[in-house]
A and B are shown apart, each in its own frame.
Chain A
Amino acid sequence: MAWTDQEPMVSIKDVRKSFGALEVLKGVSLDVMKGEVICIIGPSGSGKSTLIRCVNALNDIQGGSIRVEGQEVNDPDLDKLELRKKVGMVFQQYNLFPHKTALENIMMAPLLVLKEDKTDVEKLARSLIKKVRLEGKEDSYPGELSGGQQQRVAIARSLAMSPDVMLFDEVTAALDPETVNEVLLTIKELAQDGMTCILVTHEMAFAREVADHIYFTDRGVIVEHGTPASFFDEAKDPRTIEFLGQIL
């Protein structure tokens, strides 16, 4: 039963999720292969953020199945910590730890969770700072960084755990327009390096450029999906067409 990378790295099947009486996800299915980049788009309140928060068990689900490298997430005996070592996540509000410097933010998890050697971790953290183009900001506190810089630190912090999948939850939605591109560039480079990525985004041009596959959600279901070219140019469902008409 061992997972191989011929199977989907993340396999979501008929997932249902409710907050009280409100059903947010009404049977959502999608597969992500290793190295694939998928974008989930849709109007707010359509359940896209909830969906990716279920992948690393920040939210539990009421029905269906989510498998990450073959490991079932919808399982009361799930080892959440083991799952989260494989799945990185970046948030809309960055959520850096304000009492730690940029470098310390990146180093904390490998040191405390993976118990790696401090010299190695520091070397890794410095190389990640370089990768996200923040040399010189190692000792800055989050409060001293711009939104775009903070978000890139948050990406580096997540990468420091060497995850197999990265989840991006509207990571540019809180940014000033001029800093959006620096964050998108970082994600694009990550995607080109072969990282498996699931993005929830409102950046249509970006989705079109980096995604292998685009999913459109509305009211808790996937309405339409396809490659960027077919999705943007040959959308068939009236809801998709209406949404794209408003956005583009």
Chain B
Amino acid sequence: MNNSNHKIMPVMMAPRPRPDDRFQLQSWHGYVLAAICVAAGVPAAFAATDPGQAGMFETLLRWMPLLLKGFIFNIVISISAMAVGTLVGAALGLGQISLNPFVQKIAWIVTQFFRNAPWLVLLFFAMFLLPFEVKVFGLTIPLPDWLKAILGLSLPVMANVSEIVRGAIQSLPSGQWEAAESLAFSRTQVLWRIILPQCVKRMLPPWMNLYSILTMATVLASIVGVSEVMTLTGQALAAEGGRSDLLIPFYSFVLLLFFAYCYPIARWTVRLEKKFSVIT
């Protein structure tokens, strides 16, 4: 039997059970871990509450609507930055495989520069280098802080998407290009009709991973004063007179919000990775 062909053809494979499967983390382990962390924090917080003050859960409940609003803002920032970063990053990724050496070099340099820069520094750059308003054809468009934060966070997303796109395209067997080219497809047709449709599956898991990382990075915007959930938590704590017993419940609540949002995405990514696992 000659099995060499199985190594080359991309074939959808069912995930093979591994011998150590019984030790593998399951989805519910994550939720249990989160519950334990919260439960462990509660006695410590109770011990710190002075008698005569409003209960901390009561206080938390009072601030919850505001904190939730703040968190929704984080999600809005993450989705917007992801959208901008993906659009520009995809173009940059295609630039990286361009046959024009100039375009290819520029795309490569931009990608490497923004991929190897700390996210917070990029955010500061966007905050302080962009003007607070721009004038286009006599029209004054204000650039509020949250918009600058979106642009600032979209820069590292862009660079990472660029690498995801380039990597996916180059991971396809070269035979796909050759077969399409020998059928007289133009390069554009090969790319859009043959290569990219096959890349989407390969790109989806790393792209979702990136989105999770971005969502967690949106709290960086609190450092530059955007009214997202961390900023609002700090303000709420200050309004309560800096009670130290409130620190754990409030920040635990923020942690829980992010966990509840990001953990399912992470699980979903793992499932997609298994589903799309290819043998090449």
> What is the 8 Å Cβ interface bit string for chain A, positions 190-224, against chain B (1 contact, 0 not)?
00000000000000000000000000000000000
User: Is A108 a contact of B193 with CB atoms below 8 Å?
Assistant: yes
How many A-B residue pairs have C-beta atoms within 8 angstroms? Tell me.
79
Q: Mark B1-33, 1 if CB is under 8 A from A, else 0.
A: 110110011111000000000000000000000
Do residues A113 and B189 form an inter-chain contact, with CB atoms below 8 A?
yes
**Which of B2, B9, B189, B193 makes the CB contact (< 8 A) with A93?**
B9
Contact B5 A147 (CB under 8 A): yes
Interface size on A, as a range, is: 20 to 34
Q: Which A residues from 58 to 115 make CB contacts under 8 A with B?
A: 58, 80-82, 84-85, 87-89, 91, 93-99, 108-109, 112-113
Contact partners of A89 in chain B: CB under 8 A: 179, 182
Residue of A nearest to B2 (CB): A176
Q: Tell me whether B185 and A109 are in contact (CB under 8 A).
A: yes
Is B178's CB under 8 angstroms from A95's CB?
yes
Question: What residue in chain B is nearest A97 (Cβ atoms)?
Answer: B194
Residue B138 is within 8 A (CB to CB) of chain A in the complex: no
How does the 8 Å CB contact mask read for B163-194 relative to A, with 1 for contact and 0 for none?
Answer: 00000000001011011111111100100011
Contact A56-B183, Cβ < 8 Å, known A112-B189, A174-B2, A174-B5: no
Q: Is B197 an interface residue (CB 8 A)?
A: yes
Tell me which residues across on chain B come within 8 A of A143, comparing CB atoms: 9-12
Contact A98 B9 (CB under 8 A): yes
Q: Which of A58, A81, A97, A98 contacts B178 (CB 8 A)?
A: A58
Given the complex, which residues of A lie within 8 Å of B4, measured CB to CB? 174
Q: Is A152 an interface residue, CB under 8 A from the partner?
A: no
CB of A85 within 8 A of CB of B184, answer yes
B244 on the A face (CB < 8 A): no
Instruction: List residues of chain A with CB within 8 A of the CB of B5.
Output: 93-94, 147, 174-175
User: Which one of A80, A84, A93 has the greatest number of beta carbons of chain B within 10 Å?
Assistant: A93
Enumerate chain A residues within 8 angstroms of B176, measured Cβ to Cβ.
95, 97
Determine how close the nearest CB of chain A comes to the CB of B2; give it in whole angstroms: 6
Residues A113 and B184 in contact, CB atoms below 8 Å apart? yes
- Which residue from chain B places its CB closest to the CB of A113 in the assembled complex? B184
Tell which of A112, A154, A158, A177 touches B185, judged by Cβ atoms closer than 8 Å. A112
State whether the Cβ of B98 lies closer than 8 Å to any Cβ in chain A.
no
Neighbouring A residues of B179 by C-beta, 8 Å? 89, 91, 95-97, 154
With A and B bound together, what is the CA distance between A76 and B211 in angstroms?
Answer: 45
Q: Enumerate B207-236 residues with CB–CB distance to A below 8 Å.
A: none
Q: In the complex, are the beta carbons of B197 and A108 less than 8 A apart?
A: no
Chain A: minimal CB distance from B134 (Å): 43
Q: What is the CA–CA distance of A177 and B10 in the complex, to the nearest angstrom? A: 22
Chain B CB within 8 A of A42 CB: no
Q: Are B2 and A87 in contact (CB under 8 A)?
A: no
User: Which single member of B9, B178, B185 contacts A113 (CB below 8 Å)?
Assistant: B185
Closest A residue to B200 by beta carbon equals A99
Cross-chain contact A84 with B175 (CB below 8 angstroms) = no
Kindly list chain B residues whose C-beta atoms are within 8 Å of the C-beta of A96: 179
Question: Most chain-B CB neighbours within 10 Å: which of A81, A87, A88, A142?
Answer: A81
Q: Confirm or deny: A34 has a beta carbon within 8 angstroms of a beta carbon on chain B.
A: no
Give the distance in Å from the alpha carbon of A112 to the alpha carbon of B184 in the complex: 10
Min CB distance B144 to A, Å, is: 43
State whether B198 touches A161 (Cβ < 8 A).
no
Q: Are A88 and B182 in contact (CB under 8 A)?
A: yes
What's the Cα separation between A161 and B198 when bound, in Å? 23
Complex-state Cα separation, A43 to B11, whole angstroms? 31
Interface string of A117-151 (1 = CB under 8 A from B): 00000000000000000000000001100010010
Contact of B2 with A175 in the complex, beta carbons under 8 Å: yes
Taking the closest CB of chain A, its distance from the CB of B275, in whole angstroms, is 14
Does A157 make an interface contact (CB < 8 A)?
Answer: yes
List residues of chain A with CB under 8 Å of any chain B CB: 56, 58, 80-82, 84-85, 87-89, 91, 93-99, 108-109, 112-113, 142-143, 147, 150, 154, 157-158, 161, 174-177
Interface residues of B (CB under 8 A from A): 1-2, 4-5, 8-12, 173, 175-176, 178-186, 189, 193-194, 197-198
Chain A to chain B contacts (Cβ below 8 Å), 6 pairs: A81-B186, A94-B5, A97-B194, A109-B183, A112-B189, A158-B182
